[in-house]
């Protein structure tokens, strides 16, 4: 038990600090904050605009696809940066490996293009 | 990376290039037929490469992978399961409306992940390949989007497997903090503190999720029931075989100081899995749910081998585990394959209710005989491969004197017999009138016939594989 204590006291201290901080912030804001009760107090806050309609709306997700593609290809360019820095050190072996990597990306791009994932207008998609 | 390393990686390379070929084919001209054959060819070539260049000693390939006998055997299991799914998917999905080609793409990705997991010798590879294996499952589970059950299953699996992955990451992080290495063989430190133990518990919890062992088994039944038959077969074969390979590797590398903790933890999990799994399966009417609970019980049995592995590096440990998983895999392929012949992915639900197969023998005697053989094998009846698998495990447990585990195993098997026989009786009962439609081409039926033949052959002549298995796995 003494051993566990010796190992774990920083974590426990951190935990206690966090707890005190959070409790303190909440306590302070409830003590110091104004307590007005109007008819719009319980409405959801939407930057000053009155909310209307239900929250369950359907929306097109094709921009979501672009975000995903951007993240994927962007991440993969990062790997190429790492290779570019050590171009000379990694030699021909590294060159071939990077080539294979780019080829895989290219195949993925061709696939996405051909299945119509890159078309902007929804009606153009097959 | 030299030539020998490249040759050792050949199965993985074949699979990876197969994926690219399949992507290009789908991009240029869609054809379900062509995709299926490319997928099948890739898997068979990869299997051939795996068999042709079977490792006779552990050999590292860079720091991330290691080519060694135990992993390679589980790799073979993964590829056999992949081939089976490819063969049953064609006729099963003939009438559905989604594009059919992507299923094979996802299947190959998942097999690639599982194969890499069997080769992994580094935490980085483990995480990467585990995700590569699990993520395609989600899309495959909900392949028919019209089925609400399938969407629910995929969603449950997404959230829960995400939670399990985070447990795994946290566990490995804690182990890394104490040990300072990420190589699997040395990740468990020789002088464990509380942090290392906590890390080990988290890692074990994540693996228990993947293997659906008892405290983390709750997802199994719903996911099995909701997902379509091909995805369920993949989940019960590919995912379990690969996760078990990882577990066995971790167990064999356990330093003695951890042995007592692990023994206690895994024993409790195994006993609970065996009893609870079999008990909950008793009243199920859906065969998929029944198979889910039976999977929990069977993983409990297989865990016995892992427990023995922590105790002593017994010669039979790996052999027993490999044989047991092989037996389980063959029986699962038969059951899900035959159900897939009766069902249709385009329909609202699979024909997996016990009443759907009632009296099947009087209409399709061969399918009924195949199903009965598979269920008998799962129950561990003699002259099937399941008996030999259980015999291995019992021998191991008796030699290591794990009496509690043996008691749970016997009790579980006795209870298990009841619900397996219940399905078998229903197959031969007076059935409803009218022909049950059966899909399937010669290849898929031939493959299922082959599986049934192997099931019997290995049950009657266990030495056929057993002797060679020992040599193959233990030469390291």
Q: Determine the pLDDT at residue A69.
A: 86
Cβ-nearest to A4 among B27, B28, B194: B194
Give the mutation candidate from B194, B195, B196, B197 for the A interface (greatest A CB count, under 10 A): B194
What rounded mean pLDDT belongs to chain B? 89
Size of interface A-B (CB pairs under 8 A): 27
CB within 8 Å: A93 and B1: yes
How many CB atoms sit inside 10 A of residue B470's CB? 16
pLDDT of B401 > 70? The answer is: yes
CB within 8 Å: B193 and A3: yes
Q: Determine the pLDDT at residue B448.
A: 92
For A113, nearest residue in chain B (alpha carbons): B27
Mean pLDDT within B331-348: 90
**A5 compared with B450, residue with greater pLDDT:** B450
**B432 compared with B199, residue with greater pLDDT:** B199
What letter would DSSP give residue B237? I
Ranges of each domain in chain A: 62-124
Q: Determine the pLDDT at residue A1.
A: 62
**A119 compared with B82, residue with greater pLDDT:** B82
Q: Determine the pLDDT at residue B475.
A: 55
Short-list B10, B234, B239, CA closest to B104 = B234
CB within 8 Å: B27 and A110: yes
Give the confidence band of B1 by pLDDT, cuts at 50, 70, 90: low
Q: Determine the pLDDT at residue B239.
A: 93
pLDDT tens digits, one per residue of B254-290: 888 888 888 899 999 999 999 999 999 998 899 999 9
CB within 8 Å: A7 and B194: yes
Range from A28-37, A80-89, B123-132, B432-441 that averages highest in pLDDT: B123-132
pLDDT tens digits, one per residue of A44-76: 777 878 777 777 888 777 778 888 888 888 888
Q: How far is Cα of residue B324 from the mean position of the Cα atoms in its chain?
A: 11
For A4, nearest residue in chain B (alpha carbons): B194
Give the confidence band of A126 by pLDDT, cuts at 50, 70, 90: very low
For A11, nearest residue in chain B (alpha carbons): B195
Mean pLDDT within B47-59: 86
Give the mutation candidate from A9, A72, A114, A125 for the B interface (greatest B CB count, under 10 A): A114
Q: Determine the pLDDT at residue B433.
A: 62
Mean pLDDT within B192-213: 90
* Chain A: residues touching B (Cβ < 8 Å): 3-4, 7-8, 93, 103-104, 107-108, 110-111, 113-115
pLDDT of A121 > 70? The answer is: no
CB within 8 Å: B23 and A115: no
Ranges of each domain in chain B: 3-474
How many CB atoms sit inside 10 A of residue B41's CB? 14
**Domain range A62-124, CATH architecture:** Up-down Bundle (1.20)
Q: Determine the pLDDT at residue B24.
A: 93
**B392 compared with B439, residue with greater pLDDT:** B392
Give the confidence band of B7 by pLDDT, cuts at 50, 70, 90: confident
User: DSSP states of B287-351 as a string?
Assistant: HHHHHHHHHHHHHHHHHHHHHHHHH---THHHHHHHHHHHHHHHHHHHHHHHHHHH--TTSSS-S
Give the confidence band of B348 by pLDDT, cuts at 50, 70, 90: confident
For A103, nearest residue in chain B (alpha carbons): B20
CA–CA dist B376, B374 (Å, integer): 5
pLDDT of B172 > 90? The answer is: yes
Q: Determine the pLDDT at residue B42.
A: 96
pLDDT of B231 > 80? The answer is: yes
Instruction: Compute CA distances A89 → A77, A92, B450, whole Å.
Output: 19, 9, 52
pLDDT of B296 > 90? The answer is: yes
For B194, nearest residue in chain A (alpha carbons): A4
**B476 compared with B175, residue with greater pLDDT:** B175
Angle, alpha carbons B384-B73-B309 (nearest 5°): 85
pLDDT of B79 > 50? The answer is: yes
Reduce the secondary structure of A34-90 to three states and give it as a string. Answer: CCCCCCCCCCCCCCCCCCCCCCCCCCCCHHHHHHHHHHHHHHHHHHHHHHHHCHHHH
**A120 compared with A43, residue with greater pLDDT:** A43
Q: Chain A contacts of B27, Cβ < 8 Å?
A: 110-111, 113-115
Q: Determine the pLDDT at residue A65.
A: 81
Residue B120 DSSP SS3: strand
**How close does chain A come to B200, measured CA to CA in Å?**
16
pLDDT of A33 > 50? The answer is: yes
**How close does chain B come to A93, measured CA to CA in Å?**
8
Give the confidence band of B213 by pLDDT, cuts at 50, 70, 90: very high
Cβ-nearest to A7 among B26, B27, B193: B193
CB within 8 Å: A104 and B26: no
CA–CA dist B107, B97 (Å, integer): 18
Mean pLDDT within B92-103: 87
Mean pLDDT within B366-388: 91
CB within 8 Å: B193 and A93: no
CB within 8 Å: B27 and A93: no
């Amino acid at each position: 038990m003494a051993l566990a204590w010796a190992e774990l006291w920083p974590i426990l201290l951190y935990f206690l600090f966090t707890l005190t901080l959070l409790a303190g912030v909440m306590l302070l804001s409830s003590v110091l904050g104004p307590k007005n009760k109007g008819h719009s107090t319980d409405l959801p806050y939407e930057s000053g605009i009155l909310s209307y309609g239900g929250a369950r709306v359907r929306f097109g997700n094709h921009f979501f696809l672009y975000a995903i593609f951007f993240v994927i290809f962007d991440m993969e360019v990062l790997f190429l940066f790492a290779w570019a820095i050590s171009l000379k050190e990694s030699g021909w072996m590294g060159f071939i490996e990077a080539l294979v990597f780019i080829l895989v990306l290219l195949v993925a791009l061709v696939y996405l293009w051909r299945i119509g994932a890159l078309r902007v207008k929804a009606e153009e998609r097959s | 990376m030299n030539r020998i390393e490249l040759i050792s990686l050949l199965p993985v390379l074949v699979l990876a290039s197969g994926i690219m070929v399949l992507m290009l084919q789908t991009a240029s001209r869609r054809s379900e037929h062509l995709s299926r054959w490319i997928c099948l060819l890739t898997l068979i070539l990869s299997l051939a490469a795996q068999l042709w260049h079977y490792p006779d000693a552990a050999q590292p390939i860079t720091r991330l992978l290691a080519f060694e006998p135990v992993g390679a055997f589980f790799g073979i299991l993964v590829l056999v399961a992949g081939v089976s799914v490819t063969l049953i998917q064609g006729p099963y999905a003939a009438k559905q409306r989604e594009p059919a080609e992507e299923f094979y793409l996802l299947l190959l990705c998942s097999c690639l992940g599982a194969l890499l997991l069997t080769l992994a010798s580094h935490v980085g590879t483990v995480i990467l390949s585990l995700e590569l294996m699990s993520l395609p499952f989600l899309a495959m589970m909900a392949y028919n989007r019209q089925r609400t059950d399938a969407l629910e299953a995929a969603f449950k699996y997404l959230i829960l497997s995400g939670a399990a992955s985070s447990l795994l990451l946290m566990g490995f992080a804690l182990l890394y903090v104490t040990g300072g290495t990420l190589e699997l063989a040395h990740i468990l430190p020789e002088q464990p503190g509380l942090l290392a133990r906590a890390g080990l518990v988290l890692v074990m919890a994540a693996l228990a999720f993947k293997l659906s062992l008892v405290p983390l088994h709750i997802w199994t039944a719903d996911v099995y029931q909701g997902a379509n038959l091909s995805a369920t077969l993949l989940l019960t074969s590919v995912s379990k075989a690969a996760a078990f390979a990882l577990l066995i590797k971790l167990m064999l590398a356990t330093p003695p100081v951890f042995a007592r903790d692990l023994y206690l933890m895994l024993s409790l999990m195994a006993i609970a899995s065996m009893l609870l799994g079999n008990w909950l399966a008793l009243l199920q009417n859906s065969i998929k749910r029944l198979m889910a609970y039976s999977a929990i019980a069977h993983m409990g049995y297989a865990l016995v081998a892992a427990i023995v592995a922590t105790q002593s590096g017994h010669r039979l440990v790996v052999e027993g585990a490999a044989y047991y998983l092989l037996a389980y895999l063959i029986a699962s392929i038969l059951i899900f394959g035959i159900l897939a012949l009766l069902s249709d992915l385009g329909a609202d639900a699979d024909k997996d209710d016990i009443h759907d197969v009632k009296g099947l023998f009087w209409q399709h005697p061969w399918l009924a005989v195949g199903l009965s053989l598979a269920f008998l094998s799962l129950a561990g009846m003699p002259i099937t491969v399941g008996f030999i698998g259980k015999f291995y495990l019992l021998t191991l447990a008796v030699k290591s004197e794990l009496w509690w585990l043996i008691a749970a195993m016997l009790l579980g098997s006795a209870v298990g017999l009841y619900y397996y026989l219940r399905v078998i009786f229903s197959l031969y009962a007076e059935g409803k009138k009218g022909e049950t439609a059966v899909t399937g081409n010669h290849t898929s039926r031939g493959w299922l016939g082959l599986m049934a033949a192997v099931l019997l052959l290995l049950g009657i002549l266990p030495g056929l594989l057993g002797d060679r298995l020992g040599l193959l796995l233990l030469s390291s």
